[in-house]
């Protein structure tokens, strides 16, 4: 039975420790030193690939993960790293192949299933993406991001009732998910559930105060409810955070029920900015 040389184990442990505390350059130097001694150390190649990917040095990451997979082609974590690198290279087909191989090797590994679902959704294969995320939430019902991604896939597919259920489960598991609150609000807004939409958009803004899209939509919902003071407060929050929201705000005020019109738009800008 093969054993790991204690000197290598110690050096690799030091590299991992440096990586875990965010000292990426130090970790990379330690891995490079290991490879000078043993150019076929797969763990060093894999960690270098992860480091270079984080540093957006995609070509270097690709070179090291290729070296790693030549040595251990059936190592699921290395395949997942290779898939992430392929995603960074916009090679979605390649990424999906790596993630599916990782899943085949480790069938209960949630990360590869989750990443497969993300790629499938980005490719527009929503039915397959839904299947991947459904499988994932069955494997790990407490995976809040999986529920959010399932909701997003349902929402893209126009299956609103199931999307609402998935977003609500995501929020129940992690109420700090601003994007889940926002997407839940969008569906309620589309369905004219104005009170529920306002609650969701307000929660999104509470979790992310600079969430201007939520602020604008909250303003629109409040305006449609006839609550103009609350609407103007939300619009002001959006405008003060990002000035380029002005066009959408002015259009909403002019075109929706209970709206207002300004002949002099500079007056509206001044009002929103105060």
For 11-58, what is each residue's pLDDT tens digit? 999 999 999 999 999 999 999 999 999 999 999 999 999 999 999 999
pLDDT-derived band at 3 (thresholds 50, 70, 90) equals very low
Cβ-contact 272, 235 below 8 angstroms: yes
Query: How many C-beta neighbours within 10 Å does residue 270 have?
Result: 10
Query: What does the angle CA 142 – CA 148 – CA 150 come to, to the nearest 5 degrees?
Result: 95
Q: Residues 59-89: pLDDT tens digits?
A: 999 999 999 999 999 999 999 999 999 999 9
The pTM score is: 0.82
- Average per-residue pLDDT for the chain: 93
Indicate the domain borders of the chain.
175-274
Q: So what's the pLDDT on residue 256?
A: 65
Find tokens 């959704």 and name the residue: 121
pLDDT-derived band at 260 (thresholds 50, 70, 90) equals low
The pLDDT > 70 percentage for the chain reads 95
The correct CATH number of 175-274 out of 2.40.50.100, 1.25.40.10, 2.40.50.140, 3.20.190.10 is 1.25.40.10
């Amino acid at each position: 039975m093969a054993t790991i040389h204690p000197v290598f184990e110690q050096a690799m442990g030091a590299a991992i420790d440096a990586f875990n505390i965010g000292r990426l350059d130090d970790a990379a130097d330690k891995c490079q030193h290991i490879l000078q001694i043993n150019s076929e150390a797969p763990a060093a190649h894999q960690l270098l690939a992860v480091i270079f990917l984080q540093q957006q040095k995609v070509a270097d990451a690709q070179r090291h993960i290729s070296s790693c997979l030549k040595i251990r082609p059936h190592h699921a974590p290395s395949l997942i790293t290779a898939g992430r690198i392929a995603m960074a290279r916009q090679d979605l087909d390649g990424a999906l192949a790596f993630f599916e191989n990782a899943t085949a090797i480790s069938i209960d590994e949630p990360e590869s299933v989750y990443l497969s679902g993300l790629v499938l959704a980005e490719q527009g294969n929503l039915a397959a993406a839904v299947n991947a995320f459904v499988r994932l939430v069955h494997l790990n019902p407490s995976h809040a991001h999986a529920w959010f991604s399932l909701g997003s896939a349902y929402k893209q597919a126009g299956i609103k009732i199931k999307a609402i259920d998935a977003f609500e489960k995501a929020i129940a598991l992690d109420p700090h998910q601003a994007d889940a609150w926002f997407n839940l609000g969008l569906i309620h807004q589309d369905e004219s559930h104005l009170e529920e939409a306002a609650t969701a958009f307000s929660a999104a803004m509470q979790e992310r105060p600079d969430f201007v899209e939520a602020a604008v939509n909250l303003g629109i919902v409040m305006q449609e409810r006839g609550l103009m003071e609350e609407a103007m407060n939300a619009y002001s929050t959006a405008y003060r955070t990002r000035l380029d929201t002005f066009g959408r705000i002015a259009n909403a005020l002019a075109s929706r029920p209970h709206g207002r019109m300004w002949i002099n738009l500079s007056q509206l800008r001044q009002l929103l900015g105060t």
